[in-house]
Amino acid sequence: MRREPIVNAPLVVLGLIAAFALVHVVRIFLTEIEDAYVVLGLGFIPARYGPGLLELPGGAVTTVTSFFTHMFVHGDPLHLLINSAWLLAFGTPIARRIGSLRFLLFGLLSGIAGALMFLAFNPGLLAPMVGASGAVSGLMGGLMRFLFNAMDRGGAGLIPEGAREVPRMDLGEMLQDRRVQLTVGLWVLLNFLFSLGFGGLTEPEAIAWEAHLGGFFAGLLAFGAFDRQSVGPGSPPLGRGIG
């Protein structure tokens, strides 16, 4: 009898979660000053892109590298846990569908889009933006392109095991699908509430809602460029997957 792994997820997803955790564990052993230097050197700081030349940790090279490195730094264990859980949920079907390399490039694109959206709304900000939320939101956006087709063909049990076989929606079909419209509307509304402080449960500046939206819409619109599978409702129905 074949034994199933406890966590049945692609190695690329598990590897990223391990990398996030490793960075956080290493930071525990740093002094307060050393940790601040690491966060400023790896985090995405909009002030780096202003007209003035600021002396910030990492130097000029971080104007390029921080678009990538900010995704590996998290504010606290809860932040790390939430992003890792969402990466496991959204990243698993995406990685199985498009493969490890395309998955990494797609996540990178989404994370960069999230950082650019954060920069657009916060020019000159000195506080660093950290975390993989923008990239994870992009994975969520990409999942919208075939999740509902999977549900139509046998339920959500097709995700993630049958992620490769589900046809994706083209842009026209997606824009007309009310389930996609509702999901996008709820995601925008939720992040709007985050920007206001969500009824006092969160601080407005504690959540980079701009990165969430930038990453999500990048993933939603650009997923087709990374996907090699079929498009549209014309593909034959699939059997019911295992839940």
Helix (H), strand (E) counts: the chain: 10, 0
Dihedral sign from CA coordinates of 58, 64, 66, 72: negative
Count structural domains, the chain. 1
In this structure, is residue 38 part of a structural domain? yes
Number of C-beta neighbours around residue 78 at 10 A: 9
Q: What are the φ/ψ torsions at residue 231 (nearest 5 degrees)?
A: -125, 145
In this structure, is residue 235 part of a structural domain? no
Q: Is the pLDDT at 195 greater than 70, yes or no?
A: yes
- Nearest residue to 232 via CA among 183, 191, 144, 172: 172
Q: Domain range for residue 26? A: 11-226
| Domain at 84, CATH number | 1.20.1540.10
In this structure, is residue 232 part of a structural domain? no
Q: Is the pLDDT at 86 greater than 70, yes or no?
A: yes
In this structure, is residue 240 part of a structural domain? no
What tens digit of pLDDT does each residue of 115-148 get?
999 999 999 999 999 999 999 999 999 999 998 8
Peptide bond into 160 cis (omega under 30): yes
In this structure, is residue 196 part of a structural domain? yes
What pLDDT score does 14 carry? 98
What pLDDT score does 241 carry? 29
Helix axes 32-42, 11-28, angle to 10 degrees: 140
In this structure, is residue 239 part of a structural domain? no
In this structure, is residue 133 part of a structural domain? yes
Query: What would the 3-class secondary structure string for 125-174 be?
Result: CCCCECCCHHHHHHHHHHHCCCHHHHHHCCCHHHCCCCCCCCCECCHHHH
In this structure, is residue 1 part of a structural domain? no
What pLDDT score does 52 carry? 61
- Nearest residue to 103 via CA among 143, 67, 63, 43: 143
What tens digit of pLDDT does each residue of 93-115 get?
999 999 999 999 999 999 999 99
Distance, in Å, from the CA atom of 70 to the CA atom of 185, rounded to the nearest integer, reads 27
